[in-house]
Amino acid sequence: MRMKISFIGSGRVATHLATALHQLGHQIQHIYSPNLAHAQQLATQVKAYAVNDLLHIDTEIDLLIIAVKDQAIAQVAAQLPEQLTNVLLVHTSGSTDLSVLQKFHERCGVLYPLQTFSFEKSVDWSQVPLLIETHHSQDLYSLQDLAQRLSQRVYVYSSAQRLSLHLAAVFACNFSNYCYDMAKQVVDGASVDFSLLYPLILETTQKATLFNPKDVQTGPALRQDQQILQMHQELLQKQQHGDLVEIYQKMSNAIQHRHHKI
């Protein structure tokens, strides 16, 4: 079913999602952003109208998607005009409970893509897990239909389940990426080419998708090689990476506790 959809937000999630829905043949009606230039940039890509006033959003739409920072969702929902009451309103957050929208809007739901987004890289939506939830069961069918046209992996999950996934995603994605950042700081400090770690990074990531991560843990902490652990911490101090020493210690201790219950 072809839908008329408007977006509140023009950032990374809004850009990728609006573009994908537009390519599927849905009509993107309005892109809202307080910064009209940002709204216009995305609106041009999806043949929509750019607005910087919520009162200008067309009320004759099927779906309104809030794709903004988590802390702004409630504020945006509270400011929506009454004329949008009959429109299905969803947010794209992993951590925000559905009840946040229910306070302001009867027809509400969640369309959360479990993926990391950047302007620089395209997304294969067919493989992106989409977590959906609605307040009313009749809205679930239309949201599920929309999601299934985007992705082969659609799941009806509660807000509590979605929150656990979002937390896990922070460990699996955000924290692991910071580990790569720390690794680059270390090799940069010794004028070593970071790309030498690429095969190791790719192999580690692939193994985590094929096996239980606990079963494929390696390294000096697993082996309880205290001499190497101490040597690494001394090197970090020598390179003036004192802030990384505490992280190294805590992660090494956590690995040893996980595997040896020390």
Same domain, 205 and 117: no
Which residues are 110's β-sheet partners?
91, 133
Within this chain, do residues 127 and 174 fall inside the same structural domain, yes or no? no
Same domain, 149 and 168: no
CB neighbours of residue 162 within 10 Å: 23
Domain termination site, one of 157, 184, 214: 157
Q: Residue 236 belongs to a domain with what CATH number? A: 1.10.1040.20
Domain match, 10 and 138 both: yes
Tell me: do 133 and 169 sit in the same domain. Answer: no
Intervals of the chain under pLDDT 50 = none
pLDDT at 86: 87
Q: What is the pLDDT of residue 119?
A: 87
DSSP for 40-109, please give it.
HHHHHHHT-EEES-GGGS-SS-SEEEE-S-GGGHHHHHHHS-GGGTTSEEEE--SSS-THHHHTT-SSEE
Predicted pLDDT at 118: 87
User: Do both 193 and 90 map to the same domain?
Assistant: no
- Do 100 and 17 share a structural domain? yes
Separation of first and last alpha carbons in the chain = 57
Same domain, 206 and 83: no
The pLDDT assigned to 262 comes to 58
Domain count, the chain: 2
Tracing tokens 């219950």 back to the chain, one arrives at: 261
Note whether 12 and 105 are same-domain residues: yes
Rounded Cα–Cα distance for residues 21 and 15 (Å)? 10
Q: Are residues 47 and 80 located together in one domain of the fold?
A: yes
Domain range for 121 is 4-157
